[in-house]
Structure 1
Amino acid sequence: MKKKYLLLLFFLLIGNVPNVNSESIKSEGWYDVNKLYLNNGFTEISEAMKKAENFFGENIELPTRLPPIIFTHMLGKFESNKEFSRLEITYLDENSGNVRYKISVLKASTEKEREKSPVVTEKIKSSDGIEIIHYKNNKNFDTFIINKKGIEYAFFIDKISFNKITIEGIVKIIDSME
């Protein structure tokens, strides 16, 4: 069980986001971010959410507030296999070719599984008492995980963007979930 959870956490942290910085694409002098992501299973966020809500049988709440970061694209993807099922919402900046902010939604893991995960940097409380677990275990992203109504939400903010937002800002984003 420990290996499965660590594998899931690794997959969430690294993800399978297409690499728009690919040298082959750059050398051709073009790339269409929409086409690249759409060819990798991404759709409009509302379409991906419908699939996830039907699969989970639950209403998925997303924040109405976003980090103060520039995004050119917001795309969603729902995938399900034997290991796990998740909804991924990706916000990226076409000009940099980088994912700036990402939300992954899956059925909540148990407290025992969470205890086996990498070191927690800190635990924070939202204004309505939800525990926010902050992981600083990835060189590219800071991760914030909450469990709300049996659904686990993982918020990933890239290190460059994280310098533009405070912990209080993250709490405000999570508090805006409806």
Structure 2
Amino acid sequence: MLCIVFTFSFSFVVKANYTSEEFQESLFEIGYKSIYEAINEGNEHFNQEIALPVQLPPVAFTHSFGRFDNLDGDVNDKYDIEYVNKDTPQNHYKISIQPVKYGMDFRDNHIDQKIKLDDGNEAIYSTKAVNGFNLLVFERDKFQYILSVDKRISDIATSDILVEIANSIK
């Protein structure tokens, strides 16, 4: 399912010569909005403040946006933040946040490494769970966080950088 979400949400990046305005409009048309608008929707829905990392991967992004999906029932309710560069598609970083009880489970063969975070929680690093993306998955305050970065920038946005980002949530 996660793979489908990535494929769907970034099928618009392939159009060449987007102006920034056209690029933004294409995102707004499929339900994205500012990070702050979307996080407020999620906070209200979950009746809890969702903490976000303050650090980003060290790559250039031209746009950031968010979307809160409130579907029928609670199972698929989640908050997504995406950072992209309209001119450099590999500069793509995503944060997905959903309640732990509805989070993704990972098979052992999809786990590359287990890492202890500063708050004592364990994170899972995976280069195999989603085609084209490396993931760091962890829990905090009853939510599962999935930090994903395009594999093409994994030499810059390493597992250590993703751990730093996870540790920047206060």
TM range (shorter): 0.7 to 0.9
Q: Name the SS for the 1:128 alignment partner.
A: coil
1:73 to 56, 63, 66: 63
Letter in 2 for 1:84: N
Structure 2 Cα separation of the partners of residues 87 and 117 of structure 1: 26
TM-score by length of 2: 0.85
Distance 1:94 1:115, change over 3 A: closer
Partner of 2:119: 128
Runs of 5+ consecutive residues of structure 1 not aligned to the other structure: 1-6
Letter in 2 for 1:124: I
Q: What is the percentage of aligned positions where both structures have the same residue?
A: 24
Bigger Rg, structure 1 or 2? 1
1:92 to 69, 84, 94: 84
1:169 to 139, 161, 166: 161
What's the CA shift string for 1:123-158, capped at 9, x where partnerless? 111122121111212331001111111111110100
2:105 to 114, 118, 129: 114
Partner of 1:4: none
1:145 to 115, 137, 141: 137
* 1:21 aligns to 2:14 (yes or no): yes
Number of residue equivalences: 165
* 1:157 aligns to 2:149 (yes or no): yes
Deviates more, 1:45-54 or 1:73-82: 73-82
Partner of 1:105: 97
Letter in 2 for 1:154: I
CA RMSD of aligned residues (A): 2.3
* 1:52 aligns to 2:45 (yes or no): no
What's the CA shift string for 1:76-113, capped at 9, x where partnerless? 111121351111100000112456100011111379x6
Q: Name the SS for the 2:136 alignment partner.
A: strand
**C-alpha contact (below 8 Å) 1:13/1:141 kept by paired residues:** no
Runs of 5+ consecutive residues of structure 2 not aligned to the other structure: none
Q: Name the SS for the 2:114 alignment partner.
A: strand
Q: Residue 118 of structure 1: CA displacement?
A: 6.2
